[in-house]
Amino acid sequence: MIADLEAWANLAIRWLHLVAGIAWIGSSFYFMWLDSHLKKPPEAPEGIAGELWSVHSGGFYRQMKFMVAPADMPEELHWFKWEAYTTWISGFLLLSLIFYVGADLNLIDKTKADLATWQAIGLGLGTLVAGWLVYDGLCRSPIGQNLKLFSAVWFAVLVAAAYGLTRVFADLGAFMHVGAIIGTVMAANVFMIIIPNQRKVVAQVLAGQTPDPALGKQAKQRSVHNNYMTLPVLFLMISNHYPMIFAAPLNWLWVAGLGIAGWTIRHFFNLKNAGRFEPQVLAAGALAFVTVAVLNVAARPKPPTVEEVPSYALVRAIVDKHCIACHAAHPTHRGVPVAPNGAAFDTDAGLAKHLDKIYARAVATQSMPQGNETGMTDLERAQLGAWIKAGGKVGS
């Protein structure tokens, strides 16, 4: 019953996280696009920085941006904040459910660091707090005034975090925490800087004071940072589907390479929205992606092998020992109410149906069992791989 509740909670929270994330990132993309398309009309009213006319869904829209703030504040003012808050809250709940409640399976890898559950959770939470403190400190320092220098230093911090976390956590848990660091920074930018600064500007206008332009400048800085971090964090969100990345040797390096690809591609579109079409920037992002793919394949160690093809009885014993606690019609592993992806190996037909996936996960990438919880040996992986390569005849 508890396992069923966890599974349905996972679905509900993941769905909410996805929907909220789409809304948040969509608004980020839109306002970056809007800012780059604003043009000051010939006879602009005082205080207007630019305007944009657009047409959508059968209607015409006219948007105007003030240099700082309007002289009189409207009665109703829409705040773009709950998209960010809901994304972070749902993301943190999902992180907690999968990697903290399920720490033994998804976060702790005893072959890397013999952590107690509370130690692993504490380390995970600590990285989120530390990530924000480091980022915010960089923004407030002289480094933060130089966008290129800041980008290089913050990138180095994230790569260092990826390297460190992949040394102590299960691979997937490490990847998700790097993504959570970025997501926490992005949400904290909204909660700690952007919205408070906007509230101060509103209060100054209502009090008849001249708004402080530095508040808007700081909020805009954090908003731009968030925009550039969207594609890297999206990659990390979906990386759990690609064990050839998260379970690969040098996995921290692939985080760095694909992060560069995402940042560069986002930069291309920001330039394009500003009227600068520079295809070489897009090509650089694509080249970074292809380079990571090629180097990833080249760096992958050859699967373990044995000369003699083992018997089916031996293979069945290996599968029963290391796989069917989760991959069975009725899993016995806590927190696994049904076989992941419907892949059950407790029957001959089920085993035969999934041989390619078993080879990819247990032999080629060695990403299963998760965190090698059952202690599957290289010899067992080699025997399983040899049997599958020889045709994988079940029952004989």
pLDDT digit string (tens) for the chain, length 396 residues: 666 787 888 899 999 999 999 999 999 999 888 888 888 888 777 778 888 888 998 899 888 888 777 777 778 888 889 999 999 999 999 999 999 998 988 899 988 999 999 999 999 999 999 999 999 999 999 999 998 999 999 999 999 999 999 999 999 999 999 999 999 999 999 999 999 998 998 888 888 888 888 998 999 999 999 999 999 999 999 998 898 899 888 999 999 999 999 999 999 999 998 889 999 999 999 999 999 999 999 988 887 788 888 998 999 999 999 999 889 888 888 777 788 888 888 888 889 899 999 998 999 888 888 878 888 998 999 999 999 998 888 876
Residue 26 within any structural domain of the chain: yes
Alpha-carbon distance of 395 to 347, in angstroms, equals 10
Q: What is the pLDDT of residue 3?
A: 66
Residues in the chain: 396
Which structural domain, as residue segments, surrounds residue 381? 312-389
Contact yes or no for 73/84 (Cβ under 8 A): no
Q: Could you tell me if 107 and 189 lie in one domain?
A: yes
Q: What is the pLDDT of residue 1?
A: 62
List, in order, residues 6 or more apart from 233 with CB less than 8 Å away: 179, 182, 183, 186
Q: What is the pLDDT of residue 73?
A: 77
Q: At what angle do helices 171-188 and 147-168 cross, to 10 degrees?
A: 150
Q: Could you tell me if 246 and 333 lie in one domain?
A: no
- The count of domains in the chain is 2
Q: Could you tell me if 62 and 205 lie in one domain?
A: yes
15 DSSP β-pair partners:
none
Residue 76 within any structural domain of the chain: no
Contact yes or no for 262/232 (Cβ under 8 A): yes
Residue 73 within any structural domain of the chain: no
Residue 75 within any structural domain of the chain: no
Q: In terms of C-beta density within 10 A (0-12 exposed, 13-18 middle, 19 or more buried), how is residue 23 classed?
A: middle
Contact yes or no for 270/227 (Cβ under 8 A): yes
Residue 180 within any structural domain of the chain: yes
Q: Could you tell me if 107 and 231 lie in one domain?
A: yes
Q: Could you tell me if 114 and 34 lie in one domain?
A: yes
Alpha-carbon distance of 390 to 393, in angstroms, equals 8
Q: Is 50 helix (H, G, I), strand (E, B) or coil?
A: strand
Q: Could you tell me if 240 and 331 lie in one domain?
A: no
Query: Last residue of some domain: 241, 272, 299?
Result: 299
Q: Could you tell me if 279 and 337 lie in one domain?
A: no
Closest CA to 110 of 175, 165, 170: 170
CA distances from 208 to 199, 203, 211, 241 (A): 14, 9, 9, 54
Q: Could you tell me if 242 and 351 lie in one domain?
A: no
Q: Could you tell me if 265 and 117 lie in one domain?
A: yes
Q: What is the pLDDT of residue 35?
A: 86
Q: What is the pLDDT of residue 187?
A: 97
List, in order, residues 6 or more apart from 158 with CB less than 8 Å away: 178, 181, 182, 255, 256, 259
Residue 371 within any structural domain of the chain: yes
Q: What is the pLDDT of residue 294?
A: 95
Alpha-carbon distance of 17 to 19, in angstroms, equals 6
Q: What is the pLDDT of residue 158?
A: 98
Residue 148 within any structural domain of the chain: yes
Residue 382 within any structural domain of the chain: yes
51 DSSP β-pair partners:
39, 64
Q: Could you tell me if 207 and 252 lie in one domain?
A: yes
Alpha-carbon distance of 141 to 378, in angstroms, equals 49
Query: Last residue of some domain: 236, 264, 299?
Result: 299
Q: Could you tell me if 235 and 100 lie in one domain?
A: yes
Closest CA to 386 of 310, 300, 314: 310
